[in-house]
Amino acid sequence: MKRLIVSAAFAALAAPAMAGGGFMCSGEGVEAMFPLGGGAGFSLLEAEIRAKGKIWSTVARPDVIEIAVSQAFSGNHRIAFDLTDPNMQQVVAEIRLFWTEEESDPVFGGTLKMPGEGAWAIACDAG
Dihedral sign (CA 31, 39, 100, 81)? negative
Q: Does 49 help bind another protein (rule: CB under 8 A)?
A: no
Using CB under 8 A as the binding rule, the residues of this chain from 77 to 106 that contact another protein are 77, 94, 96-104, 106
Q: Does 113 help bind another protein (rule: CB under 8 A)?
A: yes
Using CB under 8 A as the binding rule, the residues of this chain from 23 to 42 that contact another protein are 27
Contact 117, 107 (CB under 8 A): no
Q: Does 50 help bind another protein (rule: CB under 8 A)?
A: no
Q: Does 112 help bind another protein (rule: CB under 8 A)?
A: yes
Contact 94, 112 (CB under 8 A): yes
Residues ≥6 apart with Cβ < 8 Å to 102:
none
Using CB under 8 A as the binding rule, the residues of this chain from 61 to 80 that contact another protein are 77
Q: How many chain residues are in contact with another protein, going by CB under 8 A?
A: 31
Burial of residue 79 (number of CB atoms within 10 Å: 0-12, 13-18, 19+): buried
Summarize as ranges the residues that interact with another protein (CB under 8 A). Answer: 27, 77, 94, 96-104, 106-124
